[in-house]
């Protein structure tokens, strides 16, 4: 996925390696599914890849060392950044309501170019709003970008013919935004009083 040998994502600080085998690790993202599909399929390619991921991050109200990620990949002829933006805007409005506002901020991911992070407007009415959004009113919910031509080439797809976009989102962040949950840690603490609020109807 175009990750250089010296990239921090391969480092001990950012990844959980298995004690019994230092060459094996808990995955940091689900992009490995994208690579498998691109090397075994021909475009057009449209996939959604869910899975649990692990990162050696400081646990706080906004982030955790484990979470569930959903990645999407779309590759075809003439796929553009505008296609990606409209797809993500459609998703956000279906998920959070028709008046939902999004913004894309430039970012860096080794497997996409250009890359962006997408924020959804949470609001700034309460103390919780200020805490969760760091006083901005915006909450980052996913990373995205156009698939780097090197990734396509490495997977046997001609970057002169095909383009595509990819995105990855944490399900827990989606739940935080949807239900105004002010601390991501609540989702992992198995407190029945908290979990019962989200029981499905029988």
Averaged pLDDT for residues 22-36: 82
Omega into 114 within 30° of 0, i.e. cis? Answer: yes
d(CA 30, CA 60): 22
pLDDT-based confidence at 98, cuts 50/70/90? very high
pLDDT at res. 117: 96
Whole-number percent of the chain with pLDDT over 90: 48
User: What is the chain's alpha carbon radius of gyration, rounded to the nearest angstrom?
Assistant: 18
Look up residue 38 and give its two tokens: 């691109």
pLDDT in tens, 171-202: 888 888 888 888 989 988 889 999 888 877 55
Q: Other C-beta atoms within 10 Å of 81: how many?
A: 15
Burial of 34 (C-beta count, 10 Å sphere; 0-12/13-18/19+) = buried
Enter the pTM of the model. Answer: 0.81
| Segment 123-135, tens digit of pLDDT | 889 888 888 888 9
Question: What's the whole-number mean pLDDT along residues 136-150?
Answer: 93
- For residue 151, pLDDT over 80 is answered with yes
The span from the CA of 39 to the CA of 27, in Å, is 19
Whether 13 has a pLDDT exceeding 60, the answer reads no
30 pLDDT exceeds 60?
A: yes
């Amino acid at each position: 996925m175009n990750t250089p040998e010296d990239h921090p994502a391969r480092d001990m600080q950012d990844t959980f390696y298995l004690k019994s085998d230092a060459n094996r690790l808990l995955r940091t993202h689900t992009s490995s599914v994208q690579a498998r599909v691109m090397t075994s399929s021909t475009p057009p390619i449209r996939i959604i890849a869910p899975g649990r991921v692990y990162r050696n991050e400081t646990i706080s109200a906004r982030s955790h060392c484990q979470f569930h990620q959903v990645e999407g990949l779309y590759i075809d002829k003439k796929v553009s950044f505008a296609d990606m933006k409209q797809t993500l805007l459609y998703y956000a409005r279906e998920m959070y309501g028709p008046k939902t506002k999004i913004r894309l901020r430039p970012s860096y991911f080794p497997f996409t170019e250009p890359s962006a992070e997408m924020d959804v407007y949470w609001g700034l009415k309460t103390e919780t709003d200020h805490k969760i959004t760091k006083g901005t009113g915006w909450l980052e919910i996913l990373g995205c970008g156009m698939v780097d031509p090197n990734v396509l080439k490495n997977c046997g797809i001609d970057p002169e013919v095909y383009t595509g976009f990819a995105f990855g989102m944490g399900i827990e962040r989606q739940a935080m935004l949807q239900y105004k949950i002010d601390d991501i840690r609540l989702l992992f603490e198995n407190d029945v009083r908290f979990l019962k609020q989200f029981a499905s109807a029988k």
